[in-house]
Structure 1
């Protein structure tokens, strides 16, 4: 997305000359905007350019009046304002000239025009011109048509050729009729559609990026919502496959999804079904930002159910083996595991066993229990949720895993690990496995160096396993004696307050 190669190197002192070009015909406007863009891409020039009201007024006027006539011109001007948007102190410049609202109109028009191009090339129906009633009438004034003939003395020769080529592509697509198209003509139009699509992707990318930058202002984001920014983003995502553009679109959607109004708008447009195929992308960055968006959406119960319905659970489980995506995958799985019906789905494969083994491995890490162990903490919380399911609890405790969990719980005196153990002890089929550990659990209750939260979980575990059907008569008296001592001690402390 760089200026036309034939444009000479721009000089800041000549900016007034470049502004003059914006008052000529389209080729001169393209050349002038490209030179101004060169200046704006240098951060050192932005302060000086922001003070030039004549420049900003001319740019906004040309974009407002000529946006339908040249994709290249629109791209140059929007790119210039994007350069301003990268710094918060220049956001007011964009807001003052209403560039954000104008960009959304441009995006909406380009998406509709793309649909027309595609329908024409596919031969589905006669291409409609942008002036037809199917497109809503723009609030932006229509430009006066310039004569097709004339001399362009100021324009660069190569620039004329480039503009002429783009113009001819657009005219071919708009004017050709289905009846007169031969097979070769259709192939040629497809190639021209591809060329125009690439140019459109450049415009969409800088426009969305600029909108994303100024959306840091909540009030600006609210205005975008009213103009249906979500619909524009999803529409662009469905029409284009450019990887950089897709990453930008999904990142923008992820930011917007924080607010319930935007989330509801996404849900009404089937956002989960539309972004699910992106998880199969070979691009790790696109997959990662898609997972971030899905994580935000999992706070909505209906959207969680939608993810399960279209079969995303195995995909999320698969990502737990990828170091790049494991943290996000665990967070999504944790949210999904809050539904009892989904807990049972985890048990239909070796997922529960693998998660438990992963937990045992991570707990051995030196970072466990510190602020850096976020992935392990989420994994532990996920296992605690799954342990409420009878079948999942049995898989967790089987094959010696209960012994390993208890060993780590006592080693680190971790209350969350003991919560997992307590949940496992709640299921009748697991209770016999606890018989040999009753003495250790009871001893921890009276230990003076054990955190109170850990003691509470130990008492809860003993309460679950002290059942008439369990063969623990040999421990029963001693356990209840220890518990009674704790209760007496607690009452004594309360009376002394």
Structure 2
């Protein structure tokens, strides 16, 4: 008998009222479907899909075995993308969802019955029945969820599944122990977790807590998949908080030691370090130590962006950077200089700014000449210069600045501050560097002689609408005022004084505060400044009125008629306006 005749005979069995013939027919049809050459025959048959889908819908509660055979047929078909539309037309996704929901309800009912019989003679018998049912269910769940996962390639179908509680059903499967069921469950969750609505639902239904068990289990596949789910979920702030609260961070940090888990662990840890509070937790782990070792032994000249991004985030916390030894820091700086690694320079800056270890500053000072050479070298990338300027600003060089301020370096500062010559970020960072240099008196005097104050004033005029530039400009002036030459130079320039006083009424509180601090210092050395401030404030508050007075004065000087017409249109009052209405 050929396959077509056999199929016709098998389909007739599904019209039998008894379950056994249907089970036998379903088993043989599954055998046919398992052979790829028969798939075209099965799909093209007019009654095949409609018959077995109807049987599955109507009979799935009567026989788990029959249900499993028929689901396995659809499982095979669902592996082919071109057949998904046909499966949708026969509502296979809807039927499968109903079967899964029904089986979960059966388990809950049987488990509740077992709990009621705790301590009774029937408990052991009920437990055996429950375990037998679980074994059958897990096969059915594996096949059912695989069908749904395959069909979820269509976003519209995936969204329908989400509304039908697919995530709730999947999270229930994480409580099971069947290895293959757990694999398909985690794969499905990982796929769904990239959709924002699904991600939020997973977080709300405590998916993260349920993944904790796979970090203690000795199973590489489940652990790898769990890390992938956590990575996708950790784009959400609440998810990151739950990961930290459930104690995942030490476990994930340990994964850095294992090559197979290293990349996904680095990405996951990077996402976790986006939150300041969570970042502090890393200080109690060996994360910084492991990350530094990975950077020093990275095979490529430029460190991978995922690894260096994690390192940069960690470097913003002193609790983390204090794990770095002097020798490691020296090797990192040397590697950054050798390979011109932009982001590695950013990491170096973070370490210098946040380390409480004085040896870090000492070590970094040994590379100052190298840093300056990179700054003044033509053709270097602007991003590298930006990072190195930040490093120089963070170094506590004090009396060393006067030795470092050579002509090329001063010219470099002026070029960066010249309007239109550099990007805003570099201009701002250069202003911060100037503030740092002026902490030393001799260096400040040398900068004054180079007319750096004029360059800063021009930056203020150009960028006066940007509060960040204004605050930094005022801070530069504040630093200059710690030296007599700075006080005398600023007091001699009325334009700068006006700029400072005008900021007293700025909406930004930080700008107001810096203006007050600068003026407070200047008042101590120039008593007349108080009167100047009052005069400038008076002029500013009454600007419109003063302009009108000036206009009138000009008209008088030109001999113009200054008589004011009254609101009735004439220069003289009309006598009739006083007459009584009765006259």
TM-score range, shorter chain: 0.7 to 0.9
Cα deviation, residue 199, structure 1:
1.0
Q: Rg bigger for which structure?
A: 2
* Pairing of 1:156-175 with structure 2 (within 5 A): none
Verify: 1:487 aligned to 2:416, yes or no.
Answer: yes
Verify: 1:192 aligned to 2:185, yes or no.
Answer: no
Question: 2:315·2:321 contact (CA, 8 Å) conserved in 1?
Answer: yes
Distance 1:235 1:332 in 2: 25
Distance 1:350 1:262, change over 3 A: closer
Aligned to 1:399: 326
Verify: 1:384 aligned to 2:312, yes or no.
Answer: yes
Question: 1:121·1:189 contact (CA, 8 Å) conserved in 2?
Answer: yes
Identify which of 451, 459, 462 aligns with 2:389.
459
Identify which of 345, 356, 361 aligns with 1:431.
361
Distance 1:286 1:400, change over 3 A: same
Aligned to 2:145: 208
Distance 2:197 2:276 in 1: 28
Distance 2:297 2:286 in 1: 17
> What is the RMSD computed on CA atoms of the aligned residues?
2.4
Identify which of 261, 271, 281 aligns with 1:335.
271
Structure showing the higher helix proportion among its residues: 2
* Pairing of 1:88-487 with structure 2 (within 5 A): 88-124=81-117, 182=121, 185-238=122-175, 240-362=176-298, 365=299, 367-369=300-302, 376-396=304-324, 398-427=325-354, 429=356, 430-448=360-378, 450-465=380-395, 468=398, 471-477=400-406, 480-481=409-410, 483-484=412-413, 486-487=415-416
Cα deviation, residue 377, structure 1:
2.5
Cα deviation, residue 358, structure 1:
1.9
SS in 1 for 2:310: helix
Distance 2:313 2:340 in 1: 20
Distance 1:56 1:428, change over 3 A: closer
Question: What 5-or-longer segments of structure 2 have no aligned partner?
Answer: 424-583
Distance 2:93 2:422 in 1: 65
Distance 1:475 1:107 in 2: 74
Question: 1:18·1:36 contact (CA, 8 Å) conserved in 2?
Answer: yes
Cα deviation, residue 354, structure 1:
2.3
Cα deviation, residue 26, structure 1:
0.4
SS in 1 for 2:274: coil
Cα deviation, residue 41, structure 1:
1.7
Question: 1:205·1:245 contact (CA, 8 Å) conserved in 2?
Answer: yes
Cα deviation, residue 400, structure 1:
1.6
- Which segment drifts farther, 272-281 or 379-388? 272-281
1:418-457 Cα shifts (integer Å, max 9, x gaps): 1111222323744343211111000011223533322221
Question: 1:298·1:304 contact (CA, 8 Å) conserved in 2?
Answer: yes
Question: What 5-or-longer segments of structure 1 have no aligned partner?
Answer: 1-8, 126-177
SS in 2 for 1:484: helix
SS in 2 for 1:320: helix
Distance 1:270 1:493 in 2: 50
1:455-495 Cα shifts (integer Å, max 9, x gaps): 22112211222654x7554324468426336538996799x
Distance 1:491 1:57, change over 3 A: closer
Distance 2:55 2:83 in 1: 20
Cα deviation, residue 347, structure 1:
1.6
Question: 1:275·1:290 contact (CA, 8 Å) conserved in 2?
Answer: yes
Distance 2:419 2:127 in 1: 81
Aligned to 1:173: none
Distance 1:85 1:393 in 2: 52
Identify which of 8, 12, 22 aligns with 1:16.
8
Cα deviation, residue 394, structure 1:
3.1
Distance 1:340 1:113, change over 3 A: same
Question: 1:295·1:332 contact (CA, 8 Å) conserved in 2?
Answer: yes
Distance 1:188 1:412 in 2: 71
Distance 2:422 2:384 in 1: 19
SS in 2 for 1:258: coil
Distance 2:361 2:411 in 1: 20
Distance 1:482 1:442 in 2: 12
Distance 1:12 1:414, change over 3 A: farther
Distance 1:349 1:479 in 2: 45
Question: 1:435·1:472 contact (CA, 8 Å) conserved in 2?
Answer: no
- Which segment drifts farther, 276-285 or 312-321? 276-285
Verify: 1:53 aligned to 2:46, yes or no.
Answer: yes
Cα deviation, residue 395, structure 1:
2.7
Question: 2:273·2:314 contact (CA, 8 Å) conserved in 1?
Answer: yes
Cα deviation, residue 249, structure 1:
0.6
Question: 1:111·1:236 contact (CA, 8 Å) conserved in 2?
Answer: no
SS in 2 for 1:400: helix
Question: 1:33·1:73 contact (CA, 8 Å) conserved in 2?
Answer: yes
Question: 2:60·2:66 contact (CA, 8 Å) conserved in 1?
Answer: yes
Pick 1 or 2: higher relative contact order, CA cutoff 8 A, min separation 6: 1
Distance 2:129 2:354 in 1: 66
Distance 1:70 1:493 in 2: 76
1:377-409 Cα shifts (integer Å, max 9, x gaps): 21211110111112323333x322221111111
Question: 2:253·2:285 contact (CA, 8 Å) conserved in 1?
Answer: no
